[in-house]
Chain A
Amino acid sequence: GENVEQHPSTLSVQEGDSAVIKCTYSDSASNYFPWYKQELGKRPQLIIDIRSNVGEKKDQRIAVTLNKTAKHFSLHITETQPEDSAVYFCAATGSARQLTFGSGTQLTVLP
């Protein structure tokens, strides 16, 4: 089955700086890669996703890049703000058509 690895597990940045979170996956059949943001005690919320026919996708301060050859994808947050502080999860949909999640990255944006 699919295996998704995510790093770093924790990330602290100064407000206004950029943050990058990276994930690798194992199933070459995976074709959908969402990113979820989870604030403490709340539900995971889909913030951006990318499909395998696209290399990069951007939505305001958030962007995701995908390298299918290397089987890795990354989340980029620019001009970080304190409200960006949360746990971020990457995920991949493998051949079984189910989401496999990474272990999460605790992002802290320092004011």
Chain B
Amino acid sequence: EAGVVQSPRYKIIEKKQPVAFWCNPISGHNTLYWYRQNLGQGPELLIRYENEEAVDDSQLPKDRFSAERLKGVDSTLKIQPAELGDSAVYLCASSLLSDPSTQYFGPGTRLTVL
């Protein structure tokens, strides 16, 4: 069974440019998470989806970040415009709706903003 898939794995952009990350969760997992992991720190939740509904986006900086999960399967996280402080690893995770605590992570996208 394939795990959580993310692309791209690495992205280097200049500040003020837009960037988008894509995630495909484990098949059958209704719940999808986007986390940001800064260097030397643990992942921090940005947004959580149950099917296509964003049920927790309180930590998402809405002035520049947006996310969507239109068909309740794969998801896209976008930053526009990117700032230097957005450099981090963006992790996607998924879980069953019935067991939201047991989360499986993707490999992440390492974003560098110059």
Residues of A bordering B, CB below 8 Å:
4, 6, 32, 34, 36, 41-46, 49, 89, 91, 93, 96-104
Q: Find out whether the CB atom of B100 lies under 8 angstroms from the CB atom of A97.
A: yes
Task: Supply 11 A–B pairs (Cβ within 8 Å), ascending by A.
Answer: A32-B101, A34-B103, A42-B107, A43-B108, A44-B91, A46-B102, A96-B56, A98-B45, A99-B103, A102-B42, A103-B40
Residues of B bordering A, CB below 8 Å:
4, 40-45, 48, 56, 91, 100-108, 110
Q: Which residue of B lies closest to A89 (CB)?
A: B42
Contacts of B110 in A (CB 8 A): 41
Of A32, A46, A93, A104, the residue contacting B41 (CB under 8 A) is: A104
Contacts of B101 in A (CB 8 A): 32, 34, 49, 93, 97, 99
Please give the distance in Å from A22's CB to the nearest CB on chain B: 15
Number of A-B contacts (CB under 8 A): 51
Q: Find out whether the CB atom of B42 lies under 8 angstroms from the CB atom of A98.
A: no
Contacts of A103 in B (CB 8 A): 40-42
Contacts of B4 in A (CB 8 A): 43
Of B40, B44, B106, B107, the residue contacting A104 (CB under 8 A) is: B40
Compute how far the CA of A89 lies from the CA of B43 in the bound complex, rounded to whole angstroms: 9
Between B4, B91, B102, the greatest number of chain A beta carbons within 10 A of the residue's beta carbon is seen for B102
Contacts of A99 in B (CB 8 A): 43, 45, 101, 103
Q: Find out whether the CB atom of B106 lies under 8 angstroms from the CB atom of A101.
A: no
Q: Which residue of A lies closest to B9 (CB)?
A: A41
A101 and B43 contact, Cβ closer than 8 Å, known pairs A43-B91, A96-B56:
yes
Q: Find out whether the CB atom of B56 lies under 8 angstroms from the CB atom of A98.
A: yes
Contacts of B42 in A (CB 8 A): 4, 6, 89, 91, 101-104
Please give the distance in Å from A25's CB to the nearest CB on chain B: 13
Compute how far the CA of A99 lies from the CA of B91 in the bound complex, rounded to whole angstroms: 13
Contacts of B102 in A (CB 8 A): 34, 46, 49
Contacts of A46 in B (CB 8 A): 102-104
Compute how far the CA of A99 lies from the CA of B105 in the bound complex, rounded to whole angstroms: 12
Contacts of B41 in A (CB 8 A): 103-104
Q: Find out whether the CB atom of A43 lies under 8 angstroms from the CB atom of B107.
A: yes
